[in-house]
Amino acid sequence: MLETLACASGSDQAQPPITSYDNGVKTSAQTAVNVAVLRTLSVLAILVAILFPATGWADEQLIIAAMREFLKSDHPEQREKLVHRIASDPAYTREKVSTWLHRAAEFDPLPTGLHHLQVPLAAGGHRTLALRIPAKYDPQQAWPLIYALHGASGRGENILGYVEGVLGPAVEQYIIAAPSDYRDMVVHSDWPPSLEHPAALAALRRYVHLDTDRVFVLGYSRGGHTSWTLGVLYADQFAGAVPLAGTFALPEVEHLWETFLPNMRYVPVLCVWGARDIYADNNQTPSRDGGIAGLNRKLCAAAVELELPVTSHEYPDQGHGGIVPPADLLTNLLSSRRAHYPREITH
């Protein structure tokens, strides 16, 4: 039970560690300090329970201490006992689980600037994430995330720079993560899918303290295609999507949009493109579908028919390059929060 709740709330720290190239390896002295701190917290929680047995506050501290033990443990039997202890506590209520998990999870301080994480994939290999830590990052605070996706031939660092330019000073309010050389882009990607994006998001939840109610996906060109795809397939994980110079690419597009698009009913979308983005594969041959511009006009019309929270913006004189989301529309979307329990998901 708690494992499911932990994943839903972004506190799945019992998974294998993620390699950090920039920050070195945690020393044995640091580990000893962490263990000592945990022991002290556990003793304090027990003392509070003894001194104030009738208070809900004392019970909540015991719940948080048990959750912390759960997150540290790799033993199924111990985890099962901890789940039973938590669920049987008089102060337990499901509505507070997410809050308690954020208080129970422990994250290391990180230097400001660029980091690189390796994320292992279930099918083998790994993906490298470029990760930007804001200047005032506090591991005790939950931070919103922008998961940024580069275009063809790009790198994570490229789209990081783009997002920095788009957000300006507001960039310091977000953690930004960007995978390089990702493969899963559209619904009909190579089979079997690597599930690289869910793996990356899970790794980030373990490495930095994320506000899982404010996780956004933003992508340019190929990354725009992927933003649509992730928003549709993982609608319960995102607070919003920003596809730029990209579209929701599907085989037999016009026959499948109505099937998949309703997943976005609780995920606001800001879709931005240029009216002259009409060519296939960045060459000078006009696409039979009208290119990204033509597809997005049809796509957004379908979204309007379905009464979905999709905001579209077309630049009349722009092609595929130089697309920047209007600042007011982007600010509005980034104020959104995730819908915890979408009433309906269709795959």
Residues 133 and 270 in one domain: yes
Is 344 contained in some domain? no
- If asked whether residues 146 and 227 sit together in one domain, one would say yes
Whether residues 78 and 150 share a domain: the answer is no
Q: Is residue 143 part of a domain?
A: yes
Lookup: tokens for 292: 């990204």
Of 50, 70, 104, the residue that ends a domain is 104
Q: Is residue 15 part of a domain?
A: no
Q: Give the total number of structural domains in the chain.
A: 2
Same domain, 31 and 129: no
Residues 209 and 292 both lie in one domain: yes
From 50, 75, 104, give the residue that closes a domain: 104
Is 137 within a domain?
yes
What is the spatial distance between Cα 245 and Cα 4, in angstroms, rounded to a whole number? Answer: 36
The one-letter amino acid code at 228 reads W
Contact 148, 223 (CB under 8 A): yes
Give the structural domain span for 278. Answer: 113-333
CA-derived radius of gyration, the chain: 22
Is residue 54 domain-resident? Answer: yes
How far is residue 267 from each of residues 204, 228, 242, 345, measured CA to CA in Å? 21, 11, 10, 12
Residue 94 and residue 167 share a domain: no
Cα–Cα nearest to 101, from 216, 197, 14? 14
DSSP 8-state assignment for residue 237: G
- Dump pLDDT digits (tens) for 41-73: 454 445 444 444 444 445 799 999 999 899 888
Q: Are 190 and 295 found together in one domain?
A: yes
pLDDT one-digit tens code per residue, 203-251: 999 999 999 999 999 999 999 999 999 999 899 999 999 999 999 987 6
Residues 35 and 128 in one domain: no
Which parts of the chain have pLDDT scores under 50? 1-35, 37, 41, 43-45, 47-57
Is residue 179 within 8 A of residue 196, CB to CB? The reply is yes
Task: Tell me the average pLDDT of the chain.
Answer: 83
Q: Say if residue 270 is in the same domain as residue 136.
A: yes
- pLDDT, one tens digit per residue, over 16-35 is 444 444 443 343 444 444 44
Domain presence at residue 27? yes
**Residue 192 half-sphere exposure, CB side, CA atoms within 13 Å?**
6
In a domain, 341, yes or no: no
What are the start-end ranges of the H helices in the chain? 2-9, 28-51, 56-72, 76-88, 97-104, 156-167, 196-207, 222-233, 253-260, 291-305, 327-333
The CATH number covering residue 257 comes to 3.40.50.1820
Q: How many residues does the chain have?
A: 347
pLDDT of residue 347: 58
Same domain, 161 and 240: yes
CA distance 102 to 72: 14
Q: Roughly how many angstroms between the first and final C-alpha of the chain, as a whole number?
A: 24
* Percent with pLDDT over 70 in the chain: 77
179 is written with which tokens? Answer: 């995978």
Residue 343 is assigned to a structural domain of this protein? no
Let me know whether 47 and 149 are in one domain.
Answer: no
Q: Are 211 and 143 in contact (CB under 8 A)?
A: yes
Contact assessment for residue 156 and residue 128, using Cβ atoms and an 8 Å cutoff: yes
**Same-domain check for residues 250 and 325:** yes
Please tell me the pTM assigned to this model.
0.78
